[in-house]
Structure 1
Amino acid sequence: MNFFEKITGSDMTKQMKEFDERAKVLPTDYQTAWKEIMSNLWIHGDFTGRKLMPILESALELLEVTSADGQSVEEVLGDDIKGFCAALVGSDGAKTYRDKWREQLNKNVARKLGGLQ
């Protein structure tokens, strides 16, 4: 990745388009699961989402392999896709970027108001 790609995110845009093309080949129930996985994983990313790309790649690969094996989405992911996504990023208590920003804001306000850290 060169400097221009890193700044503009064009490498990620290209990779997301590739993910979308791969997902279009999946059966309908798998496509729905992929969309839900995408929406549930992005909240765990950093500002750019660059750190999520390997996780998204792995999740899509899992869907591709299991659909080719003839398994149902429920067999693979279970009933709780949000829980599946939380497990992918670390744990049920995984912090979202909002949590991280809130924590930093609270530290900054406490420091300004009372000299606390």
Structure 2
Amino acid sequence: MNLWEAMTGSDLTREWKAFEARAEALPADYRAAWEEIKVHLFPYSDFTGRNLMPILDGALGLLEETASGGRSVRQVLGDDFEGFCAELAGGERARSYRDRWREQLNRNVVRKVGRLGG
């Protein structure tokens, strides 16, 4: 990846299109699971989404491998897609964008209150 790709995000666009092309080759229930995984993983994204690309690649690889094995998607992932995605993102210690924003807001409030009181 060169600087121009990093600035414009064109590398992410290319990678995303490759993910979607791979997902189109999956059976219908696996494509639906892929859509659910994307929805539940996006809250764990950073500003650009780069941190999710390896996770999404691994999740899609899992779907491809299990689809070729003939197992149902529910046998592999279970019914708790949200929990599955939270574990993929880092489990209990995974921070969503809301957590990061909340921490930033708290730091700013503490800094402002410190200026007023001191």
TM-score (normalised: structure 1): 0.94
Aligned-residue Cα RMSD (Å) equals 1.3
Instruction: Give the gaps of 5 or more residues in structure 2.
Output: none
> By percentage of residues, which structure has more helix?
2
Report if the CA contact (8 A) 1:86-1:92 is conserved.
yes
Q: Is 1:99 paired with 2:107?
A: no
What aligned pairs does 1:12-51 form with structure 2 within 5 A after superposition?
12-51=12-51
Deviating 4+ runs (over 4 angstroms): none
Instruction: Give the gaps of 5 or more residues in structure 1.
Output: none
Q: Is 1:9 paired with 2:9?
A: yes
Total equivalences in the alignment:
116
- In structure 2, C-alpha distance between the alignment counterparts of 1:38 and 1:8, rounded to whole Å: 22
TM-score (normalised: structure 2): 0.94
- In structure 1, C-alpha distance between the alignment counterparts of 2:48 and 2:101, rounded to whole Å: 14
C-alpha deviation, 1:93, in angstroms:
4.8
Q: Is 1:114 paired with 2:114?
A: yes
Report if the CA contact (8 A) 1:77-1:84 is conserved.
yes
- In structure 2, C-alpha distance between the alignment counterparts of 1:83 and 1:93, rounded to whole Å: 13
SS at match of 1:34: helix
| Residue identity in the other structure for 1:104 | Q
| Residue identity in the other structure for 1:6 | A
C-alpha deviation, 1:6, in angstroms:
0.3
